[in-house]
Structure 1
Amino acid sequence: MASVLIPPAAPASAQSPALAPRPRTWPAAWAQRGFRLRLGLVVVLLLGLLPVVPGFYRFVQARPGQPLADPLLALLPVQDHSTLIFTLIYGAIAATLVYLLPRPQRLLQALWAYYLLQLMRMATLWLLPLEPPAALVMLHDPVMDRIFEVTTQPIVRDLFFSGHTATMMLLTLVGRGRGWRGALGLATVAVGLLVLMQRVHYSYDVLAAPFFAWAAYWLAGQICPPNTAAGK
């Protein structure tokens, strides 16, 4: 009798798409047109920034800005931490790439978030011309300085908001798990503190950076909803 009253289960092909398992591999992701379109578009947009960024930052550097009073910054010692800053940043980027490469949906969202973050930073730099803090210690990238011969005037007026801190926060957001986010969260705090000690940013630049990173990550999630691309 029970077998008569209980309707048979619907075949897998008839189940609701919302209940169907999401594809989690590159072949499954690539099979979806929405994923291919979003990935292709963000790659084109990122490549489109390459010829624009150098001229924009030369404009930022050439434009006079306004110095800011920063009581919090005055409490910190002035020290050069270039090597440690970029060790943390490059280490976090490498670890995040290892995590993201087998996860196409999360990689797609990360690329969109990074692109949006660059647009946000260029907008705030254009709107808020600032002079760097006094006692600035030049920040040297130990990798890029060895690859490229820097002969032009260094960029020191790219202040609000801190790109280094925002990038670290974005790397924290695109990961998963308490351990991952905890470790990268601590690294983000460390980078923010170290750039302040180097005087390459005001405290306002560093404190605002995580909010812009979160906004870029959230907007990227709206562009790349999970049901239109590969799974987590």
Structure 2
Amino acid sequence: MPAPTADSAAASPPLRWPEAWRTPGFRARLLLVLVLLLALLAVLPRFFAYIQARPGVVLPDPLLAALPAHDVSGLVFGTIYLSVVTGLWVLLPRPRLLLRALWAYLLLHVCRCLLLWLLPLEPPVGLVLLQDPLVDQLVYAAPAPITKDLFFSGHTATVVLLALAVGRGRLRTVLLAAAAVVGALVLVQHVHYTYDVLAAPLFAWGCYRMAGYLTP
């Protein structure tokens, strides 16, 4: 059976929070995904410290070699956080869509951790550190800055995921454009390889599809 789509869910009669909370399957899956996200958040600092400490390889990247590096941290996180706020504004009143987005976000990070473990990489030449005080304190709490969380770009994938979650329409187009901007900016800052950015939408789409099977 094919996974339900965000568009079909949006087209069906909207499920409101009181009704959703009275549904045992919905309530159990919402609580489960929240617990799993908190558990993931608890183990990420040690995981990223391990990733940062081990040696990796430097990949050839002709695009980055031709692209001067600049610090565009403000633009990167301004675009990301504005996208997150906009996406949540749409998703919070729609519990079914929000639940699917949460499962997709969890799957996205599990996939990313698995690939980071399997593909040890060194950061691109010319990297300029991204400055994000919130995430640096909560997730990247390590003695040294984390620069080896490379394949794939979590920043780009997150915004793509939001674009998928909100369904068809102008907002999806705007969020996809924001994802393209984020992908371009992290390349300008040399914090990701081109391969990391190009792979991000594919993993976001795959995780969102899988999350459809976990959403009642």
**TM-score calculated relative to the size of structure 2:** 0.89
| Secondary structure, aligned partner of 1:131 | coil
Percent of paired sites with the same residue: 54
- How far is 1:44 from its partner? 1.1
Aligned with 1:47 (options 9, 19, 38): 38
Aligned with 1:29 (options 20, 24, 27): 20
- How far is 1:75 from its partner? 2.7
Q: 1:72 to 1:220 in 2, by over 3 A?
A: same
Q: 1:145 to 1:128 in 2, by over 3 A?
A: closer
Aligned with 1:213 (options 192, 204, 212): 204
Corresponding residue number in structure 2 for 1:167: 158
Q: Which runs of 5+ in 1 are unaligned?
A: 1-20
- How far is 1:33 from its partner? 1.0
RMSD of aligned C-alpha atoms? 2.0
Q: Could you list the per-position Cα deviations for residues 31-67 of structure 1 after superposition, in whole angstroms to 9, with x for gaps in the alignment?
A: 2111011111101111111221110000000000000
Q: 1:223 to 1:172 in 2, by over 3 A?
A: same
8 Å CA contact 2:45–2:142 kept in 1: the answer is: no
Corresponding residue number in structure 2 for 1:64: 55
8 Å CA contact 1:92–1:184 kept in 2: the answer is: yes
Letter in 1 for 2:169: R
Q: 1:90 to 1:126 in 2, by over 3 A?
A: same
Q: 1:146 to 1:153 in 2, by over 3 A?
A: closer
Letter in 2 for 1:67: V
- How far is 1:174 from its partner? 0.5
- How far is 1:30 from its partner? 1.1
Q: 1:55 to 1:22 in 2, by over 3 A?
A: same
CA distance in 2, matches of 1:43, 1:147: 16
CA distance in 1, matches of 2:107, 2:186: 23
CA radius of gyration, larger in: 1
CA distance in 2, matches of 1:169, 1:75: 26
Q: 1:87 to 1:129 in 2, by over 3 A?
A: same
CA distance in 2, matches of 1:97, 1:23: 16
Q: Could you list the per-position Cα deviations for residues 110-161 of structure 1 after superposition, in whole angstroms to 9, with x for gaps in the alignment?
A: 110000001000000000000001111111115556999x772000011000
- How far is 1:76 from its partner? 2.0
Paired residues, number? 205
8 Å CA contact 1:79–1:197 kept in 2: the answer is: yes
Corresponding residue number in structure 2 for 1:98: 89
Letter in 1 for 2:108: L
Asked whether 1:222 is paired with 2:213, we answer yes
Aligned with 1:108 (options 75, 87, 99): 99
8 Å CA contact 1:86–1:141 kept in 2: the answer is: yes
| Secondary structure, aligned partner of 2:76 | helix
| Secondary structure, aligned partner of 1:51 | helix
8 Å CA contact 1:86–1:142 kept in 2: the answer is: no
